[in-house]
Amino acid sequence: MTRKHRFAAVTLASLLAFASSPVPLFAQGEAKWFVLRNHEVGNCWTATLVRIDGQYTSTFEQKAGGPFDTEARAVERQKALENEGACNRD
């Protein structure tokens, strides 16, 4: 194996390790659970968000609950929102 091939293999392995992490490695201590709601169709789900520049960020979804330390607390909030009619049931 040439030097170029070894470099490519190490780079690929590093990228796969970084991409397979459930929370980005640079934000391990900053992840919290949230309930997110799609404002167009009204469905909700739980997800972890990371803090970037002091804010927990998502794309276009509304935050409907959180931050929570555990997924179980986020699921409780999601069920409460479904019972209130604020979120559609799947």
* DSSP structure string for 2-34: -HHHHHHHHHHHHHHHHHHSSS-GGGGGG-EEE
Residue 11 reports pLDDT greater than 90: no
Residue 78, SS3 per DSSP: helix
pTM for the structure as a whole: 0.62
* Cα-based angle 22, 63, 84 (whole degrees, multiple of 5): 115
Task: Judge contact between 62 and 78, C-beta under 8 A.
Answer: no
pLDDT tier at 5 (50, 70, 90 boundaries)?
Answer: very low
- Specify the higher pLDDT residue, 20 or 40: 40
The structural domains of the chain, with segments of one domain joined by +, span 1-26, 31-90
Residues 22-36 have a mean pLDDT of 69
Residue 33 reports pLDDT greater than 60: yes
How much is the pLDDT for 32? 93
